[in-house]
Amino acid sequence: MADNIQDLNEMLKIRREKLHELKEEGKDPHRIVNFKNRISSKEIKDNFEKYEDQTVRVAGRILAKRGHGNMSFMDVQDDLGQIQVVNRKNVIGEDFKYIKKYDIGDIIGVEGKVFKTNQGEISIEVAESNLLTKALQMLPEKWHGLKDPDLRYRQRYIDLIVNPEVKEVFVQRSKIISAIREFLDNRGFLEVETPILNTIAGGATARPFITHHNTLDIDMYLRIANELYLKRLIVGGFDRVYEIGRMFRNEGMDATHNPEYTAMELYQAYGDYEDMMEITENMVEHVAKKVKGTTVVEFDGEEIELKAPWKRIPMIEAVKEYSGVDFNEIKTDEEAKAIAKEKGVEVKETRGEIIAEFFDEFVEDKLIQPTFITDYPVEISPLAKRKNDDRSLTYRFEAFISGAEIGNAFSELNDAEDQRARFEDQVRKREAGDDEAQMMDYDFVNALEVGLPPTGGLGIGIDRLIMILTGQHSIRDVLLFPTMKP
């Protein structure tokens, strides 16, 4: 091990010496400010007949080099792929001595003619070569690559270089988000921006990050949701609004949770949660067709059909199906607590909260095909409208795919007095030690008193949807720079 470290240090030292020599000879690569009029490797390979014997300019990073004497070959990687460049001393002339000093990882720009080698490989015979950046660090060995997940996330820049399939996930991520925007824009939704720094952490049940504003000398919170601001815009007269952006929750980390993540929330005036179901299933179908070319994706060995319409099950029915417990027969908090103890489920204060615990324990991971779970208890839905036929339940659903929640929606609560009472209940929970309970937001209650029309609201976890569409099993694999311990 000591010998390996010594060898590595020696190689890094040699790279730095090469750079210093170039600078002394007036060949400092960092003085070159651009390399224009280049063509991508993919464009050349896809259209060889067009470019054969034509002079082109390409630029990228050297990933491999071979050859000796008066000839060398290099594989150069650009944004869209790789191409071989061939360096011959009798073509390049005196500058060939500098090319021999290039290292794997260096960034070069070359100009030369496109041709095919005897082995049939499309290549460029270099007439002029420029070292654009000298790499002072070593790339991982070609055959071993960068495999350690922890190191891959910490040094994503190297991961993207040596594991090209990783880049494709993030290309798809960008296309997915663009397709979501296209779908909503075509339905008349207006994209807006709301504050990330909040004086009240509202709109969801979650623990916030706290920061301090020096000028105002007040503590502020990174937003845990943008719901309450977006609903203010509906009050103000916008009929359809949405926002895609980062949310921040100071909570646990696992395969589906990162402290900062991307969410999309939308609100539609004069709509309800039935409209939100239709938007959800049709938006996901649209995105899958647009980005994947199919509505069938494979995840965890299961073929998942994303085509609308999706299955719909009330929460109490789903709990009965998978646990055998029928909460339609259990009417009081005390009865609910007793059955929770009997079944080994965490005992909460109210029947509604215990129903949710049963759902988490027995149902959620069974929902592989896209499913809407509806009719959530009011105790766990402080911003949703109560059902007319059962005031203990709300017009709320969550959407599940492959055992994970990807979306949450309500017929929004627009009764200002009911909202105030629910906020007060949340405040009591907070004062009793529940630091995830919501805070009182008097201005939002005031907005409801001004008047919120009947409204449907929807939130989609963008990262989880991208995981399903790209076949990734950890949220860290769809975030370019996931949160890491130093």
- Structural domains in the chain? 2-139 (2.40.50.140), 162-310+369-477 (3.30.930.10)
pLDDT for residue 438: 86
- In angstroms, rounded to a whole number, what is the distance separating the alpha carbons of residues 405 and 204? 15
pTM: predicted TM-score of the whole model, two decimal places: 0.91
- In angstroms, rounded to a whole number, what is the distance separating the alpha carbons of residues 339 and 325? 8
pLDDT for residue 462: 97
Q: Which two tokens stand for residue 366?
A: 């069974």
153, 477 Cβ separation under 8 angstroms: no
pLDDT for residue 115: 97
pLDDT for residue 4: 61
- In angstroms, rounded to a whole number, what is the distance separating the alpha carbons of residues 222 and 159? 30
Nearest to 395 by CA among 382, 413, 373, 411: 411
Burial of 143 (0-12, 13-18, 19+ CB in 10 A): exposed
> Using only C-alpha atoms, what is the Rg of the chain?
29
pLDDT tens sequence across 167-224: 999 999 999 999 999 999 999 999 999 999 999 998 888 999 999 999 999 999 999 9
pLDDT for residue 403: 94
pLDDT for residue 142: 59
**Burial code of 58-86, b = ≥16 C-beta within 10 A, e = fewer?**
bbbbbbebeeeeeebebbbbbebbbbbbb
pLDDT for residue 113: 97
pLDDT in tens, the chain (486 residues): 556 667 778 889 999 999 999 999 988 999 999 999 999 999 999 999 999 999 999 999 999 999 888 999 999 999 999 999 999 999 999 889 999 899 999 999 999 999 999 999 999 999 999 999 999 998 887 556 677 888 899 999 999 999 889 999 999 999 999 999 999 999 999 999 999 999 999 888 899 999 999 999 999 999 999 999 999 999 999 999 999 999 999 999 999 999 999 999 999 999 999 999 999 999 999 999 999 999 999 998 999 999 999 999 999 999 999 999 999 999 999 999 999 999 999 999 999 999 999 999 999 999 999 999 999 999 999 888 999 999 999 999 999 999 999 999 999 999 999 999 989 988 998 899 888 888 899 999 999 999 999 999 999 999 999 999 999 999 999 999 999 988
359, 374 Cβ separation under 8 angstroms: no
Q: Which two tokens stand for residue 270?
A: 């004069």
- In angstroms, rounded to a whole number, what is the distance separating the alpha carbons of residues 26 and 46? 38
